[in-house]
Structure 1
Amino acid sequence: MRPAVAAQAPINLHQQTLWGHSYGGLLVLHALLNRPGEFAHYAAASPSLWWIDVNVDAGFKQRLKGHQPHVLLMRGTAEPGNPRGPNIGQPDQRMQALKSQLSGLPGLTVDYHTFDGMSHGETLPASLRYVLQAP
C-alpha cells in the first residue's frame, strides 16, 4: 500500500503511523511486536484483547533494538472487558497489563488514553480523530 500512497502524495517515511480499531487494533499490536521498525507510531484503539492474549516475548526485545517507536493504546471507558463472556476483574485489566509490559522496555514510549463514557463503536471515530490531531 505504501508505494500506491507515495505515487499519489509525498509521505514522510519517518513519521508514519499505523492505526487500527478492534481487530484492527490487534493488527497494530501484531505489527508492533513483529516489526517494530516499520512505523514511527503504533496506535491501537480498543484492541480485541479478549480474543487473544498479546504477550511481549524475548524475541520482541531483540527486534526492538535500534528502534524507538511510540505506542498509543486507547479504549472507551464504557467498553466491556469481554463482550462475548463474563467480565472478570476490571474492564481495562488486559489493556493495563499490556501497557505495563510495554512500558518496561527501553526505547519504547507508551501512552494510554481513555475516552470517557464511550463504547467500543464510539471509540472508532474518536480514536482516529485523536490520532490525526496529535502533533
Structure 2
Amino acid sequence: MSKELERSYPHRGCEEHVLYAGERRLEYRILVSHPSGEAPPEGYPVIYALDGNAVFHTLAESARLQTRKPHGYDPVVIVAIGYPSSEPFDMTRRCYDFTMPAELESLPKRPDGSEWPEHGGADSFLDLLQNEIMPMISGLFPVDSQRQSLFGHSLGGLLVLHALFTRPQLFTHYAAGSPSVWWGDYSLLLEQKRFSVMYPGLKLQRKLLITIGAEELDHMVEDAEKLPVLLAPLAAEGLQVSLAKFPQEGHVTVLPAALSRLLRFALESQEEAQ
C-alpha cells in the first residue's frame, strides 16, 4: 500500500496527493483538478499527464475553459504526475521513469556534456500508473473506462508510445508530444513492429495523437511524421492516428498548443470528430 497524504492546494478545485510508490517507494506529487460539473452517466473522462510540475496549471485551466457549458466538452478529471522538485522538469527522475533500458553507447551526448542519469524504468513506472495511481483516481471519482488518456512530452512522449505498443489495453487515448523516438538507437521502432503484428488480434479501438513543433530538430520532426505512416495499416483494425504539427513552435514553446489540442483529442465525441 502507498503512504498517501492529502494536502490543500491553493487553486480552486485542485488538490495535491503525495504518494511514496513504485518499486523504490519514491515520492510523487499527484496534482488533481476536479471536474467542473456532474459526471456523465458513464463517468468522467480522465487525462493523465506526465511532468506534472510543468503542465498541470496550463492543462487544468485550459480544461476549465473548454468544459464550460452549454457548448463545452464534458467535465474531465485532470491528473498530473509530478515530483517533489521546484523545477518544472526533474531531469533525473523523468529520465528513469520515462525510458526503456538502453546501452550508454547508443545515447547521444547531452547538450551540457553531463552523464546520462539512471534510465530504463519505464515498465516500473507503468506498473505504478496501473496499480497505484489509476486505482486511487477511480476511488475518488466515477470514471469512464472508455475515455482514459495519457499525455507526455519529449521523453514523456517516448513513454506514451512505449505504453501504447506494450500495454494498449491500459488507456484508450495516447497523446505523444514531441516524442524522443531516437532513444536507445530507435529501439521503440522494434516495439512498433511487434505491436503492428499483435494489435489486430486484440480487437481494440484506440486513438493516438502525435504533436510536434515545426521548428524542432529536423530528426524529431521527421520521426514524428514517420510514425503515422508506419501505423497507417492499422487504421482498418481500430487504431486512429493523427499528427498535429504546429508552425513556428520549438521543443518547449509547443507545449501550450499541444495541451490545448490534447483536450480536443481526449474529449470530443465521435460525432464531433466527423
TM-score (norm 2): 0.43
Q: Are 1:95 and 2:227 an aligned pair?
A: no
Structure 1 CA distance, aligned partners of 2:143 and 2:243? 27
The alpha-carbon deviation at position 63 of structure 1 amounts to 4.3
Unaligned runs of 5+ in 1: 83-90
| Residue 74 of structure 1, aligned match among 204, 208, 211 | 211
Offset of residue 17 of structure 1: 0.7
User: Kindly tell me: are residues 59 and 114 of structure 1, through their superposed partners in 2, closer, same or farther at Cα, counting changes over 3 Å?
Assistant: closer
What CA distance in whole angstroms lies between the structure 1 residues aligned with 2:254 and 2:142?
Answer: 29
Identify unmatched segments of 5+ residues in structure 2: 1-132, 269-274
Q: CA RMSD in A?
A: 1.7
From the two aligned structures, give the one with the greater strand fraction. 2
Amino acid at match of 1:62: M
**Contact preservation (8 Å) 1:34, 1:60:** no
Aligned counterparts of 1:93 and 1:133: Cα–Cα separation in 2: 24
The alpha-carbon deviation at position 60 of structure 1 amounts to: 4.4
1:14 shift after superposition: 0.9
* Deviation at residue 125 of structure 1 after TM alignment: 2.5
What amino acid maps onto 1:11 in structure 2? Answer: V
Q: Hey, what's the Cα distance between the residues in 2 that align with 1:8 and 1:114?
A: 35
Task: Please report how far the alpha carbon of residue 133 of structure 1 lies from its aligned counterpart in structure 2 after TM superposition.
Answer: 3.4
C-alpha separation in 2, matches of 1:45 and 1:15: 19
Letter in structure 1 aligned against 2:146: H
Q: Match of 1:50?
A: 182
In the alignment, the residues of structure 1 paired with residue 155 and residue 207 of structure 2 have an alpha-carbon distance, to the nearest angstrom, of 20
- 1:1-135 equivalences in 2 (<5 Å): 1-52=133-184, 53=186, 54-55=188-189, 56-64=192-200, 65-82=202-219, 92-105=221-234, 106-134=237-265, 135=268
Shift of 1:35: 1.0
Q: Which piece of structure 1 moves more, 115-124 or 16-25?
A: 115-124
How many residue pairs match? The answer is: 127
Change (3 A) 1:120 1:59: closer
Q: Counterpart of 1:110 in 2: which secondary structure?
A: strand
Contact 2:156 2:179 in 1 (8 A): yes
Contact map agreement 1:103 1:110 (CA 8 A) in 2: yes
Residues 63-88 of structure 1: per-residue CA shift (max 9 Å, x gap): 45211211111101111135xxxxxx
TM-score normalized with structure 1 length: 0.84
Instruction: Measure, in 1, the Cα distance between the counterparts of 2:194 and 2:264.
Output: 34
Greater RCO (Cα-Cα under 8 Å, separation 6 or more): 1
Read off the aligned partner of 1:30 and give its amino acid letter: H
